[in-house]
Chains A and B, each alone.
Chain A
């Protein structure tokens, strides 16, 4: 009987990871001193895209860019990456988990942003991804002048894992 539960859990891993990616984005946004209202306004579209592309295995990462509209030129002031690993836990027992402490650690290390800052969520998808209503194509802001720091796995389920990294300004 435990085998059946194990199989079911693996079947549902993409659902667990999709919803908890959004939940973790929300934690990052609020923990960074920003309002989660925009994320909540887009919740349906975001979750549908993330869930669809996890299931089709086209989602390579989910990125939160923090933007300061008062900055000239590149307005990027922060960035958080969830990198998806489809073979993260190939021999695992199928546990579904969310490590809010990893997100909390990143928030503490990274600090907060002025409330005037905006943000956007970008899905990094592999070629051939299925279209999802509400999403459009874009390009990432340049990360020149930033250094990427890896915090570790934040979400896991079945063979799926999401590793969290953040960008800090060089020399800061």
Chain B
């Protein structure tokens, strides 16, 4: 299993909404069905960026096939440097149906974010304390597409 990581410059280079849109730009072309789904959760995504949860642990993208993608946001003065090193992905990871995205969230916001994502089954939310183990303890994620990243497997040569 392969994993790709990307870092996106966030506040103050971009507002939280602009940052979520930069993440969407990375994942799907503007006219695609996947992009509509990404745009539909901009309020939630932007709030998670503003709280810097996405700096602590990544947005995890599970395409229908191919490598998983971890997207981190970079904040503060480091964001100014990070902008120069942003790289697009080699292909659109959400071009096939069946993808899923796990969003990191602080405990204080979990219930409200979970409620806001009802009706958006491709998206799940996980506690930042769970790190990069997506989907555990999250009924919505379990109902959609559970993402479990096997760290041991990833460390193999």
Q: How far is the CA of A22 from the CA of B14 in the complex (A)?
A: 14
Q: How far is the CA of A35 from the CA of B16 in the complex (A)?
A: 20
How many Å from the CB of B103 to the closest CB on chain A? Answer: 13
Q: Which of A34-60 contact B (CB under 8 A)?
A: 35-37, 40-44, 47-48, 51
How many Å from the CB of B73 to the closest CB on chain A? Answer: 11
Tell me if B116 counts as interface (CB < 8 A to partner A). yes
Q: How far is the CA of A9 from the CA of B116 in the complex (A)?
A: 34
Using Cβ atoms and an 8 Å threshold, which residues of chain B touch A12? 12-13, 80
Using Cβ atoms and an 8 Å threshold, which residues of chain B touch A35? 112
Q: How far is the CA of A69 from the CA of B109 in the complex (A)?
A: 25
Closest to B49 in A: A19
Tell me if B82 counts as interface (CB < 8 A to partner A). no
Tell me if A79 counts as interface (CB < 8 A to partner B). no
Are B44 and A40 touching (Cβ within 8 A)?
A: yes
Q: How far is the CA of A84 from the CA of B113 in the complex (A)?
A: 30
Q: Which of B108-125 contact A (CB under 8 A)?
A: 108-109, 112-113, 115-116
Using Cβ atoms and an 8 Å threshold, which residues of chain B touch A13? 12
Q: How far is the CA of A23 from the CA of B47 in the complex (A)?
A: 8
Dominant secondary structure of chain A at its interface with chain B? helix
Tell me if A15 counts as interface (CB < 8 A to partner B). yes
Tell me if B46 counts as interface (CB < 8 A to partner A). yes
How many Å from the CB of B44 to the closest CB on chain A? Answer: 7
Are A15 and B51 touching (Cβ within 8 A)?
A: no
Q: Which of A1-36 contact B (CB under 8 A)?
A: 5, 8-9, 12-13, 15-16, 18-20, 22-23, 26, 30, 35-36
Using Cβ atoms and an 8 Å threshold, which residues of chain A touch B86? none
How many Å from the CB of A19 to the closest CB on chain B? Answer: 5
Are A51 and B15 touching (Cβ within 8 A)?
A: yes
Are A43 and B12 touching (Cβ within 8 A)?
A: no
Are A47 and B76 touching (Cβ within 8 A)?
A: no
Between A and B, 7 residue pairs with Cβ closer than 8 Å are A15-B12, A15-B13, A19-B16, A26-B50, A43-B17, A47-B15, A96-B12
6 smallest A-B Cβ distances: which pairs? A12-B12, A16-B12, A43-B43, A15-B12, A19-B16, A19-B11
